[in-house]
């Protein structure tokens, strides 16, 4: 189990800081501001033109807002920057990712040998839990935390834990271990929900809340308190950004060994910030459907697309109307990769059934299921007996092309037109005679 409580408290106490704006930038901007202001006032007094002063003030306001926005985001623990980075980072495919690569994996989480339980709501089988107690800093109220500031909600107590868990990559169906347990720096982007808030009018605490405070030696004295709890439970869809490590065929997502920079996030007007740890968040609903949603919206392939994808790097099999992406299975297929490659590029149902695959083989297949075929695109199979008795298959593809169909329509028309023309000419000649 990984105790992240101290990191959360430190984060809260870091107070005001000009970061991520470099101090050098501030040292340069401040004198520039005063020079610009003096020059524009001088122009206003001497030339009686206020345009320069107005433009300068507008520019200064824009720069100040940009810096203030960045400083504010820093105070809120870079949540906006990290979330923007998480959403803009491209999804990785665990089948293709290399050792040591920074990957973003989205998938359903499941517990490993250890699972967590939230301390207030007692939600079990979690991979991440966070319970935070805030108190309102106000004169006359007894503080729990001496480092607090006045007239705002201050973190008074924190319990935050994460543990190792499994993630099933929704892109490839491949499972990996996320080493978010002991010793790993985790940057959680999970929003806690407010469970209890006492107000000046209603400071009385419920017995459950009083007991929770008592168990942690926290004063149950009536004061303004807010309790928030957040968690990631087994079965929920999570997104992780970390480094891929392969050990004895086991895929692991571990904390990146070096600090990563988010780079400038211009879409949110944010300067670069450093990421020192593994990011754990929940996927952007719009862009990342859950596994269940994926299953319900499985891709419908056209026959043409399926038969095109038939090589070692991208191999689809069409069996019984279902489409299987067997690219990662080629090496592992007990019957060899050649038979699978030979069965690609066509309907492989007969080939598959002729082998008499076992029940196990059929269970393995499910792992590689990526969608189904659009039956309207499958060519109609015409079967006819050859003299020798073998069956020959021909597809609609051998049928007349569009040009031939047009000609089939045009030629009779032309003949008809020609016949009418001849008849007309014959009648005209007769009339002239």
Alpha carbon dihedral 373, 374, 376, 379, in 10-degree steps, equals -30
Q: How far is the CB of 315 from ligand HEM (least distance, A)?
A: 10
Contacts 24+ apart (CB under 8 A), 347-355: 347/318, 347/319, 347/378, 348/317, 348/318, 348/319, 349/318, 349/319, 349/320, 352/317, 352/319, 352/320
d(CA 60, CA 38): 13
Nearer to ligand HEM (CB atom), residue 331 or residue 360: 360
Residues in CB range of 7: below 8 A, 6 or more apart: 160, 185
Q: Of 305, 368, 369, 358, nearest to 332 (Cα)? A: 368
Rg over alpha carbons for the chain, rounded to the nearest Å, is 34
What 8-state DSSP symbol labels residue 89? S
Q: Of 127, 315, 321, nearest to 237 (Cα)? A: 127
Nearer to ligand HEM (CB atom), residue 84 or residue 317: 317
Nearer to ligand HEM (CB atom), residue 8 or residue 344: 344
Q: How far is the CB of 392 from ligand HEM (least distance, A)?
A: 20
Site residues, ligand HEM (CB under 6 A): 317, 324, 326, 333-335, 339-340, 343, 348, 351-352, 355, 357-358, 360-361, 364-365, 368
Q: How far is the CB of 289 from ligand HEM (least distance, A)?
A: 24
Q: How far is the CB of 360 from ligand HEM (least distance, A)?
A: 5
Nearer to ligand HEM (CB atom), residue 218 or residue 370: 370
Q: How far is the CB of 108 from ligand HEM (least distance, A)?
A: 22
Q: Of 63, 25, 64, 58, nearest to 40 (Cα)? A: 58
Dihedral pair phi/psi, residue 345, rounded to 5°: 85, 5
Q: How far is the CB of 332 from ligand HEM (least distance, A)?
A: 9
Nearer to ligand HEM (CB atom), residue 358 or residue 401: 358
What 8-state DSSP symbol labels residue 332? T
d(CA 129, CA 302): 44
Residue nearest to ligand HEM (CB): 335
Nearer to ligand HEM (CB atom), residue 332 or residue 432: 332
Nearer to ligand HEM (CB atom), residue 268 or residue 346: 346
Q: How far is the CB of 364 from ligand HEM (least distance, A)?
A: 4
DSSP SS3 for 237:
strand
Dihedral pair phi/psi, residue 26, rounded to 5°: -70, -40
Whose tokens are 């004169």? That residue is 139
Partner residues linked to 316 by β-bridges: 325
Nearer to ligand HEM (CB atom), residue 251 or residue 344: 344
d(CA 77, CA 375): 52
Q: How far is the CB of 322 from ligand HEM (least distance, A)?
A: 9
Nearer to ligand HEM (CB atom), residue 249 or residue 360: 360
Q: How far is the CB of 340 from ligand HEM (least distance, A)?
A: 6
As given in the structure block, the two tokens for residue 287 are 């862009």
Q: How far is the CB of 329 from ligand HEM (least distance, A)?
A: 6
The helix-helix angle for 23-47 and 51-75 (nearest 10°) equals 160
DSSP SS3 for 348:
coil
Nearer to ligand HEM (CB atom), residue 215 or residue 360: 360
């Amino acid at each position: 189990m990984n105790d992240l409580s101290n990191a959360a408290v430190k984060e809260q106490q870091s107070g005001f800081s000009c970061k991520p704006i470099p101090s050098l930038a501030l040292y340069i901007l401040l004198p520039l501001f005063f020079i610009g202001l003096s020059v524009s006032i001088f122009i206003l007094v001497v030339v009686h033109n206020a345009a320069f002063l107005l433009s300068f003030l507008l520019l200064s306001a824009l720069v100040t807002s940009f810096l203030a926005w960045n400083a504010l985001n820093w105070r809120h623990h870079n949540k906006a920057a990290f979330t923007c980075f998480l959403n803009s980072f491209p999804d990785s495919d665990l089948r293709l990712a290399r050792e040591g690569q920074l990957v973003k994996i989205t998938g359903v989480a499941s517990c490993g040998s250890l699972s967590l339980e939230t301390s207030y709501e007692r939600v079990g089988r979690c991979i991440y839990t966070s319970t935070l107690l805030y108190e309102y800093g106000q004169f006359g109220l007894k503080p729990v935390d001496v480092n607090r500031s006045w007239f705002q909600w201050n973190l008074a107590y924190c319990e935050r834990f994460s543990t190792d868990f499994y993630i099933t990559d929704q892109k490839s169906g491949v499972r990996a271990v996320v080493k978010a347990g002991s010793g790993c720096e985790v940057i959680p982007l999970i929003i806690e929900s407010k469970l209890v808030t006492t107000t000046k009018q209603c400071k009385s605490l419920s017995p459950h809340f009083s007991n929770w405070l008592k168990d942690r030696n926290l004063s149950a004295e009536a004061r303004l308190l807010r309790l928030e709890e957040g968690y990631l439970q087994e079965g929920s869809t999570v997104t992780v950004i970390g480094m891929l490590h392969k050990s004895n065929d086991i895929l692991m997502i571990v904390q990146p060994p070096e600090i990563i920079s988010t780079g400038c996030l211009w879409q949110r007007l944010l300067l670069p910030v450093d990421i020192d740890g593994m990011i754990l968040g929940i996927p952007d609903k719009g862009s990342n459907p859950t596994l269940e949603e994926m299953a319900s919206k499985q891709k419908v392939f056209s026959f043409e697309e399926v038969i095109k994808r038939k090589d070692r790097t991208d191999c689809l099999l069409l069996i019984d109307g279902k489409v299987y992406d067997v690219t990662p299975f080629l090496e592992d297929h007990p019957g060899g990769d050649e038979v699978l490659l030979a069965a690609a590029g066509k309907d492989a149902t007969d080939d598959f059934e002729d082998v008499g695959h076992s029940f196990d083989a059929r269970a393995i297949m499910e792992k590689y299921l990526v969608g189904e075929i659009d039956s309207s695109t499958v060519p109609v199979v015409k079967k006819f007996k050859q003299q020798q008795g073998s069956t020959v298959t021909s597809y609609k593809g051998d049928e007349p092309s569009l040009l031939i169909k047009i000609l089939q329509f045009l030629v009779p028309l032309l003949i008809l037109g020609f016949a009418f023309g001849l008849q007309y000419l014959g009648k005209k000649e007769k009339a002239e005679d």
